[in-house]
Structure 1
């Protein structure tokens, strides 16, 4: 399948240098590049049908974790922002359950799309995961399921909304709430957010929207799904070096299997 059949290239000329430079500027200045209607309706319908058909294969789990996605610091109180727990609950199917003929896989594998992502993010190389599970994931959130507040470990993330629920599941964030490279964790700011004293921004999106998001310093969450319609979201994950695998512990935690 060709990118002309997947992407609205008239609205989003990803091969155009000027468009790429403008997109990179948006990502750098706002922390998020939001491209509504990036996926053409026919391709989106195919992605929706595939995701719905394969939902029965999803591994569902709920996890308690810190905002910083790290171990508890025993030198600090349990109610310290570094140690306070939030919950994430979702289902996930892995790369090996995405059909070979899927437009989602064609998008992920296309040299032109990777060139666009490299131009926007400033990465010199992009490679798939070496393990068979981690490159393309589809996340499912049913009623009451959510993604708790956290900072990402990676420098950027790529998501594609496939299906939107009728209520809830809002993507909420605060840009640059910490500076991880400088070692500034901003515990006071995180504590204020967890206590409800800070109002986050909301990133609005409809099915077919592609988002590139810098979540390493921008805290974010997806609020609980408040409807009976499942939220379905594809995550496209690349590495800046070949041969990288998600750890066995992470695969068991997130996918319930190693291969």
Structure 2
């Protein structure tokens, strides 16, 4: 299988420098880059079949966490934004379950795709995780499952929607709600967000849409799935340095196993 069998390269010419520059400008301006219809219809149907077949192997868990994904801070009361808990619940299939000939694997490994992501994000290099679980994940949200408000630890995320629920499962975000590099956590703004006093943006996407999102300073969540149709989303994760593995504690938390 070739990259052109997976990606609509006529609509999204990954190898053209001018196209990559335009995409980088959009990502820098908006904090998001949305490429609808990125995946060819036949390849998308293959991904749906693979994701459905793998779902029985998914590790499902429910966790509580703060928006900042940090341990509790005893210097603040429990209802302070740094300590206030939200809920995230999902299933996850790990990299070692994704077949070598899966369109996801071909896309992830394709030099053209990796070069495009590097050009758009400004990263000098992109490398897979050193552990066997973390590079490609498929997330499942069944009825009632959600991702609570949070900031990412990484500078950007790449996602591909495989299947959309019939209701709910919306991606909501507030751009630049904090400045992590400057140490400005914006507790008042996060408090307003958690209390529903802040307007949010909704990122609309259909199956086959590729999204690059800068979530380090932009709070985001996925609302509860309000249907019996499972939300399925692939996450393609790279590192700026080779040899990086997700910690054993994180692997046990997110995947329920180390390898």
Distance 1:192 1:132 in 2: 39
Give the aligned partner of residue 80 of structure 1: 80
Give the aligned partner of residue 62 of structure 1: 62
Could you tell me how far 1:125 is from its partner in structure 2? 0.4
Q: Give the secondary structure class of the aligned counterpart of 2:10.
A: coil
Give the aligned partner of residue 190 of structure 2: 190
Give the aligned partner of residue 254 of structure 1: 254
Give the aligned partner of residue 15 of structure 2: 15
Q: Give the secondary structure class of the aligned counterpart of 1:202.
A: strand
1:139 aligned onto 2:142: no
Distance 1:183 1:145 in 2: 32
- Correspondence list, 1:1-259, <5 A: 1-259=1-259
List 4+ stretches of structure 1 deviating above 3 A. none
Could you tell me how far 1:100 is from its partner in structure 2? 1.1
Could you tell me how far 1:212 is from its partner in structure 2? 0.2
Could you tell me the TM-score, scaled by structure 1's length? 1.00
Q: Give the secondary structure class of the aligned counterpart of 1:42.
A: helix
Write the deviation string for residues 234-258 of structure 1: whole angstroms up to 9, x where unpaired.
Answer: 0000001110000000000000000
Q: Give the secondary structure class of the aligned counterpart of 1:212.
A: strand
Could you tell me how far 1:135 is from its partner in structure 2? 0.1
Write the deviation string for residues 26-65 of structure 1: whole angstroms up to 9, x where unpaired.
Answer: 0000000000000000000000000000100000000000
For structure 1, the 5+ residue unaligned runs are none
Q: What is the root-mean-square deviation of aligned Cα atoms in Å?
A: 0.4
In the comparison of the two structures, how many residue pairs are matched?
259
Q: Give the secondary structure class of the aligned counterpart of 1:251.
A: helix
Distance 2:115 2:48 in 1: 26
Q: Give the secondary structure class of the aligned counterpart of 1:52.
A: helix
Could you tell me how far 1:199 is from its partner in structure 2? 1.6
Write the deviation string for residues 44-91 of structure 1: whole angstroms up to 9, x where unpaired.
Answer: 000000000010000000000000001011000100011100000000
Could you tell me the TM-score, scaled by structure 2's length? 1.00
Could you tell me how far 1:181 is from its partner in structure 2? 0.4
Distance 1:189 1:82 in 2: 12
Could you tell me how far 1:111 is from its partner in structure 2? 0.3
Distance 2:23 2:34 in 1: 9
Could you tell me how far 1:182 is from its partner in structure 2? 0.4
Could you tell me how far 1:9 is from its partner in structure 2? 0.5
Distance 1:178 1:56 in 2: 38
